[in-house]
Amino acid sequence: MKEQSDGAEPVTLVACNAMRARFEIALWGRDPGTLRGAGQEALDEVRRIEAQLNVFDPASEVAALNRDAAATPLQVDPRLFRLLEQALALGRETGGAFDIAVGPLLQAWGFRGDACRRPSPEEVEAARALCGPNALVLDEEDWTVRLTQEGVSLDLGAIGKGYALDAAAAVLLECGVPGALLHGGTSTVVGLGTGPDGLPWRIGVATPGKPDRSLVTVALSDAALSVSAAHGRLLIEGDEQWGHVIDPRTGSPSSRCALAAVRCASATESDALSTALLVAGEEMLAALSERPERAEGLVAIAGEDGALQVVGPLASG
Ligand code: AMP
Ligand code: MG
């Protein structure tokens, strides 16, 4: 934890590791003691959500669903219930490109373990049959979740960091923090209020393969930005490589776009939508463009010569 000052209001930094990523919060305001307390409370919320969503922790609610909810419906924390509901709605909105039931495909491609591998077409088909919107049923009467087949496996990896950042930002607002910048693993960033200079926070999106070169700079004030990219976890075979974001409609890792980014009011939504945009590319960009007040996006596509073409309303910053 650090405090920095450039002559304006002091900036306090707090951080923790969660969801296999570094979460950092920079806050500014009059009283560093209050800021530190607010920042720590916000990080506690991130840790609470990690403990609830982590599929690799047998004690988490999502792991319990994956283990037991095909045999018997399980009651979950109402907040998790609402998140699952929202995730299903985002799945519908993106035509199935975003799918929280993608677990069996991640398993088949080895993205859940240490070794990635290329599955047979039969394995892909078997996994695909377990994915999609019909994999789970939510019952609002008693807050229960049922998985419709043995082998269904939920994965909140594409929405969890954004959801945790929204929850953390809500804590900061309750504490009266006038401005803060929060990120989880740099893939989702929330700009609360303005920076200490009174201007919107400005975030550079790194060019894939050239981390010190900005593809575009995006302004954030009470808004979130998420970036999804094929790099990171990769299966490499000869000249071919596959990233850890899978198109549930084909069962294969998406390969069309090198990077997708979405800015909108909610980090939960920007996180899910950027993953979906990486999968669905320009087709979804066109759909997003119909409601620019809700979300704006961009995709970067590598041409024949390897040069990146950046398209979408967010491309201009
Ligand atoms: P993100 O970095 O937010 O784009 O999320 C990528 C992670 O989401 C992957 O590592 C998987 O855990 C999960 N995932 C992969 N493909 C999908 C998909 N089509 N829909 C939802 N989650 C996915
Ligand atoms: Mg995401």
In angstroms, the CA 97 to CA 65 distance is: 22
Question: Would you state the structure tokens that stand for residue 313, as one six-digit string?
Answer: 């309303």
At residue 116, the pLDDT reads 83
| Chain centroid offset of residue 293 CA | 20
pTM of the model: 0.95
Report which of 168, 152, 136, 132 is spatially closest to residue 19, judged by C-alpha positions: 168
Geometric angle at alpha carbon 160, from 45 and 285, rounded to 5° = 135
Structure tokens at 237: 């075979």
Give the model's pLDDT for residue 296: 97
Counting runs of H as helices and runs of E as strands, what totals does the chain give?
8, 18
CB 188 within 8 A of CB 271: yes
**Which ligand number lies closest to the CA of residue 267?**
2
Structure confidence at residue 238 (pLDDT): 62
- Token pair listed for 102: 């993608």
Please give the C-alpha separations between residue 264 and each of 180, 182, 295, in angstroms, as whole numbers: 17, 15, 5
Name the residue of 94, 102, 269 whose CB sits within 8 Å of the most ligand 1 atoms, as the mutation to test its pocket: 102
Measured in angstroms, how far is the CA atom of residue 273 from the centroid of ligand 2?
7
Q: Name the DSSP class of 105.
A: H
Of ligand 1's atoms, which has the minimum distance to the CA of residue 271?
3
DSSP class of residue 282 equals: H
Residue with CA closest to ligand 1 atom 1: 158
* pLDDT number for residue 1: 46
Q: What is the pLDDT of residue 232?
A: 56
Q: What is the pLDDT of residues 28-65, one digit of tens each?
A: 998 989 999 999 999 999 999 999 999 999 999 999 99
Beta strand extents in 100-222 (DSSP E only):
136-139, 144-147, 179-184, 188-193, 201-207, 210-220
Number of Cβ within a 10 Å radius of residue 205: 23
Stretch (H or E) spanning 292: none
Measured from the Cα of 228, ligand 1's closest atom is 4
Cα angle: 207, vertex 222, 49; to 5 degrees: 80
| Centre of ligand 1 from the C-alpha of residue 8, in Å | 40
Nearest ligand atom owner, CA of 186: 1
Q: What is the pLDDT of residue 230?
A: 77
Compute, in angstroms, the gap from residue 207 CA to the centroid of ligand 1.
20
- Residue type, position 299, single letter: V
List 295's β-bridge partners, or say none: 264
Q: Cα of 276 to ligand 2 centre, how many Å?
A: 8
CA triple 314-182-184, angle to 5 deg: 85
pLDDT value at position 315? Answer: 86
Task: Check pLDDT > 90 for residue 10.
Answer: no
Query: Among candidates 302, 163, 315, 287, which has minimal Cα distance to 230?
Result: 302
Rounded to the nearest angstrom, the distance between the alpha carbon of 89 and the centre of ligand 2 is 15
Q: Which of 56, 92, 155, 277 maximizes ligand 1 atoms within 8 Å of its Cβ, making it the mutation to test the pocket?
A: 155
